[in-house]
């Protein structure tokens, strides 16, 4: 995407820029954000967690997205989770939405899944911050052979664990 020069972040080195920006609707979503951060760290993908609410700080959110050089956004919110859709409306980069569990649960799931035509959000499961991170890595791996190799290794680790678990269960 070509970002208008007016909105590009200035005075920041390329190394310090997060490749994936994780945005929380509230500090109360931090545990889910940490799941994403930990997984991105496992793959060596630079990321940063910030808080910005679609409803409570709309201008802050707009500025944050428009000034970011991140390649993928992970957005984490509960209740009437407008955050992922709002971020998607401010950028043409991929946006992944993570619904956060609460008293109802379907509220945030439907708010994220039911986007109108033309403005998609890639929704993962309830509280699945780690899956959002893996999906972001898969997007980045399309043009990064090293990351693609790490994904293969990760799949093998999981498969090996299942084999081991099965042996333990079988006795
Ligand atoms: C959403 O409302 C946030 O993403 C959070 O999941 C939920 C509750 O927010 P707080 O009342 O904890 O700030 O906007």
| pLDDT averaged per 10 residues, the chain (length 171) | 33 65 98 98 98 98 98 98 98 98 97 98 98 98 98 98 98 92
Q: Is residue 41 situated within a structural domain?
A: yes
- Structural domain of residue 13, as residue ranges? 5-144
Q: Is residue 129 situated within a structural domain?
A: yes
Under DSSP, is residue 75 helix (H, G, I), strand (E, B) or coil? strand
Atom 13 of ligand 1 has which residue's CA nearest to it? 26
| Pairing, β 122-123 against β 72-77 | unpaired
CATH of the domain at 54: 3.40.50.1970
Q: Which of 61, 77, 84 to mutate to test the pocket of ligand 1 (most atoms within 8 A of CB)?
A: 77
pTM: 0.91
The candidate with the shortest Cα–Cα distance to 146, out of 48, 22, 46, 45, is: 45
- Sort 108 into a burial class: Cβ within 10 Å, 0-12 / 13-18 / 19+: buried
Give the pLDDT of residue 16.
57
């Amino acid at each position: 995407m070509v970002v208008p020069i007016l909105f590009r972040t200035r005075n920041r080195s390329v190394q310090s820029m997060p490749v994936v920006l994780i945005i929380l609707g509230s500090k109360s979503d931090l545990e889910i954000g940490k799941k994403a951060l930990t997984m991105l760290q496992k793959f060596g993908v630079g990321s940063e967690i910030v808080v910005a609410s679609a409803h409570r700080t709309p201008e802050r959110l707009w500025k944050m997205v428009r000034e970011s050089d991140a390649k993928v956004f992970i957005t984490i919110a509960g209740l009437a989770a407008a955050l992922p859709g709002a971020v998607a409306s401010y950028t043409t980069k991929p946006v992944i939405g993570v619904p956060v569990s609460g008293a109802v649960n379907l509220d945030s799931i439907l708010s994220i899944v039911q986007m109108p035509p033309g403005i998609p959000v890639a929704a993962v499961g309830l509280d699945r911050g780690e899956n959002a991170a893996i999906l972001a890595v898969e997007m980045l791996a399309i043009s990064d052979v090293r990351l693609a190799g790490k994904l293969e290794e990760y799949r093998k680790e999981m498969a090996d664990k299942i084999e081991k678990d099965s042996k333990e269960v079988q006795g």
